[in-house]
Amino acid sequence: MKKRAMALFLAMSVILAGCSSGNTDQETTRAAKAETQETTQETETAEAAGEETAEETQAEEIKEGQSFDQVREADVVIVGAGGAGLAAAIAAADQGAGSIIIVEKLAKTGGSLNFTSGSMSGAETVIQELDGIEDTKESYIEDILSNGAGLGDRELIEIFADEDVDAIQWLWDHGLSQYTFSEQNGLKSVFAPEHQLYSVQRTYKPKAMDPGKYKSAVHEILDKELAGYDNISIDYYTEVTELLGNDKGQVLTAVGYNSDTKETVCYNARKGIIMATGGYSGNPKMMGEYAKHGDKYLVGGADSADGKGIRIMQNVGAQVDEEKLSYIPTFPMGLEYSEGKGAIGDVYMWKAGGIYVNQEGRRFINETLDEVVPRETALEEQTDAVQYNIFTDKIIEDLKAGNGAFMWEYYYEPEDGIGHKLIQSADSLEELADVIGVPKDALAETVNTYNAAVEAGKTDEFGRDFSGTPTAYSLAVNKIEGDKYYAVPIKALVVMTLGGVSVNRDMQVVDESGNAIPGLYAAGEVVGGIWGKFVSGGTGVMGPVAFGRIAGRNVVNMDLAEGQPVKAASFVLKEELFEKKAAGSQGYDMAGIRDGFYEATVDGQNGDMVIQVAVEDGRIAQVTVISSQETENIAGPALEKIPTAIVEAGSPDVDGVTGATLTSERIKEAVRLCLDQAKQ
């Protein structure tokens, strides 16, 4: 009975203090497993003697549910290796943290920085000083609040504006000064038209030195600097699935699963955990739950941005303002290059006379409006969040003449352009309506009304001006008429979300009473309510970096308090929002497959992908990537793992690699095409 009592004590220790082992080596882990096995054997003997009690049964169930393949400890555990996580790790190390573990579920660092050019912004910065631009942090703060529809957190934005200056200076001193910037009038401080314009030139667009590996200069610098710290380690392929509280109300334990080694890992932090898991822009289910047509938005970033980190923190009490989960800013210029995935790639034909119509064949906005937010919100309200750019050959010619056809000539006009397949054409407006599936009468009426406004040369009901005065958004005035009519669907595109957990000024996660949860910090996109309903240019990059630095310093320097017993918040995101469609259980039908070598070509990210499949004895013996133009730092894990997984499964119906879903699907599609050949 003494051992059973000890088993109960150990089991409860797991729940109250996280991982019961305080050691990190494999020998200790094996010893813990042996002790568990011995205790289990004695319990089974007791059961046979009829000595089992309900309390002892519960203890053994708890202990069994909390067994781990590895137990690791560090001063600081950081979940997520994006901009916030990397900046937090460096800051914590500089403050004296002896050991730091970053847990990252992908095979690479960077998070959303892998999907953005990395525009930065800041006021009173070293870059503005060199450019001779006068600016104030107060003006920056007011612009951010205004751009966010007045719904942002002024206190946190003020903290950001101060920290941002130091963060940009740190980046400048650690290599940013040597980077090439996209300039305007010879200045590195520019206006960025992809967002609502600031009142002062305070956006910076440095170009990565190694564009084959990095899209963002900030990511490149953080990666380089992190490599110089021998007390920071990164566990790749490891997804944290839950946080655990101890009997002091502190959250110092994270439980993870390594998809590469198939091991469960328990991480114990001595000072605290920083959650930097990103937002939910890669989760259409969750976006659809909180935005009218959110499930139809194009995903412009990582599909690994699934929002799970928010729910994990809610399960230990984190407060989330549910209303703010609807704060999902979009770009009204999404090119759908693969199902559900997109990039900024408008044809911009409206600049030379084209129009946008919705699924009902009606116009709904002044296409030439120079304010981004009204165009964003208008598209979000349309059926399936899609708009069709309607134009003619004459409009194409005039757009080219006005030097506004960059996107058209790069993405659409070339036969191998990623948007070429989206172009629909017809000899008449009626035929075009049939092709794109909008009502003929409605489209005809819309075009007739528009053409009449062009003839009048004034301003129409949407505020579009037809006087012919050239602007950056109106290069030519044309009717919709000609021998050839074209349409291209453009959708709402999402690259970031603005809802998430609540934090205090120290970046401590707070519960529903506003009290800090001891040991738990958060930074980056997983934090909600900072910016308001819309995002300001450059804050998507510098916000995570600045707040990550604050969290990294505070987790080391702040005293670890005690709190209330850890329990789930009253509002927790529904589990089904995170369920993914499993790979086909029946698999590809291999009946009739002939031995041999087969090749297939599919469209890739930057060009064709060629796959070869070898079939022996009616089974897949080898899958080889003959050629690929995929972006290596994103697609690498899929190119390495998916061919092996297909051979092992004997089928192309395998799970994709998280963070490289598109590449995974291309490989599987090519293998299916090869197997189809083998059946002929």
Tens-place pLDDT, residues 98-141: 999 999 999 899 999 998 889 999 999 999 999 999 999 999 99
Altogether, the residues listed in the chain come to a count of: 680
Residues whose CB falls within 8 Å of the CB of residue 521, separated by 6 or more in sequence, listed in order? 272, 273, 274, 275, 503, 506, 507, 508, 509, 551, 554, 555
Q: Are 621 and 650 in contact (CB under 8 A)?
A: no
What per-residue confidence (pLDDT) applies to 50? Answer: 39
Domain ranges of the chain: 2-67, 77-325+496-578, 335-493, 596-679
Assigned CATH for 77-325+496-578 = 3.50.50.60
What per-residue confidence (pLDDT) applies to 2? Answer: 36
In whole angstroms, what is the distance from residue 588 CA to residue 647 CA? 12
Distances (CA, A) of 24 to 13, 19, 137, 510: 17, 10, 46, 30
What per-residue confidence (pLDDT) applies to 41? Answer: 40
Residues whose CB falls within 8 Å of the CB of residue 214, separated by 6 or more in sequence, listed in order? 110, 113, 208, 220, 223, 633
Q: Are 156 and 522 in contact (CB under 8 A)?
A: no
Tokens of 67: 């067994």
What per-residue confidence (pLDDT) applies to 582? Answer: 54
Helix, strand or coil, per DSSP, at residue 131: helix
What per-residue confidence (pLDDT) applies to 184? Answer: 95
What per-residue confidence (pLDDT) applies to 130? Answer: 98
169-208: pLDDT as tens digits: 999 999 999 999 999 999 999 998 777 889 999 999 999 9
Tokens of 415: 């036969």
What per-residue confidence (pLDDT) applies to 57? Answer: 30
Domain range 335-493, CATH class: alpha beta
Q: Are 624 and 612 in contact (CB under 8 A)?
A: yes
Q: Which of 161, 164, 163, 119 lies closest to 140, judged by CA?
A: 161
Strand positions, DSSP E, 276-330? 298-299
N-term to C-term CA, the chain: 69
- Give every residue of the chain whose pLDDT is below 50, as ranges: 1-16, 21-64, 583-586
Residues whose CB falls within 8 Å of the CB of residue 57, separated by 6 or more in sequence, listed in order? none
Query: Domain 596-679 adopts which CATH fold?
Result: Sufe protein. Chain: A (3.90.1010)
Sign of CA dihedral 183, 189, 191, 196: positive
